[in-house]
Amino acid sequence: MASMDVSELKKNAKIDIDGMPYVVVEFQFVKPGKGQGLYKCRIKNMITGAVIDRTWRSGERFEPANVESKKMQYLFSSGDAFTFMDNANYEQVEMPASVVGDDKWYLLDNIEVDVLFYNERPVGVSLPSHVVMEIVDSEPGVKGDTATNVTKLAKVQTGLEVAVPIFIKIGERIKIDTRSGEYIERVNS
């Protein structure tokens, strides 16, 4: 792979630093009164999840990370591992719960996700921006409690608890934002 100039950095760029893959979370170019421009970045380690701040001078170079994304289908979890299947060749990949992290709350059977591979090793999951889930447990709404934006906690089929409006009942389906974990709307089946 050809090396990358620091001026080619942008948000979500994947780079290799000291043999570890990082993704650029925030990016800012700063031009001081004199001297060279500086590139200030917040980068996230794709394996450990650690976020660090780094600054580079104009003209510095580094290697792009050998990261590949494959569309895969979530099959099941067993113990401390999650199993995904490649839709093209039906190969299965097992990923430890430590790598999947809190994304586990949005993994529904047969959901299609992007699995990220670094040097052919799975290092993360990219979820769709929204998922539709069914409410399995919730307190009933209190009659007469009609103030605006009143919410209650409800549990969905994966065990995730979400703040929902008081009119939502057990058995209803809701759309959830996977980036923030927030209720978006009720979905009519």
Please report, for the chain, the start and end positions of each structural domain, with discontinuous segments joined by +.
4-64, 67-126, 130-187
Residue 88: partners with Cβ closer than 8 Å, 6 or more residues away: 70, 71
The whole-number pLDDT of residue 1 equals: 58
The domain at 67-126 falls in which architecture? Answer: Beta Barrel (2.40)
Q: How far is it, in rounded angstroms, from Cα 68 to Cα 127?
A: 15
pLDDT one-digit tens code per residue, 111-167? 999 998 888 888 888 889 899 999 999 888 766 656 667 889 999 999 999 999 998
Q: How far is it, in rounded angstroms, from Cα 133 to Cα 155?
A: 10
The whole-number pLDDT of residue 144 equals: 60
pLDDT category, 187, cuts 50, 70, 90? very high
Q: Which residues pair with 174 in a beta bridge?
A: 133, 186
How far the first Cα of the chain sits from its last, in Å, is: 48
The whole-number pLDDT of residue 175 equals: 96
Return the CATH class of domain 130-187: mainly beta
| pLDDT exceeds cutoff 90 at 87 | no
Q: How far is it, in rounded angstroms, from Cα 143 to Cα 6?
A: 59
Q: How far is it, in rounded angstroms, from Cα 69 to Cα 154?
A: 33
pLDDT one-digit tens code per residue, 155-174? 999 999 999 999 899 999 99
Nearest alpha-carbon partner for 162 in 149, 151, 146 = 151
Amino acid at 124: G
Q: What percent of the chain has pLDDT over 90?
A: 42
Residue 97, phi then psi, degrees to nearest 5: -60, -30
Return the CATH class of domain 4-64: mainly beta
Domains 67-126 and 130-187 share a fold: yes
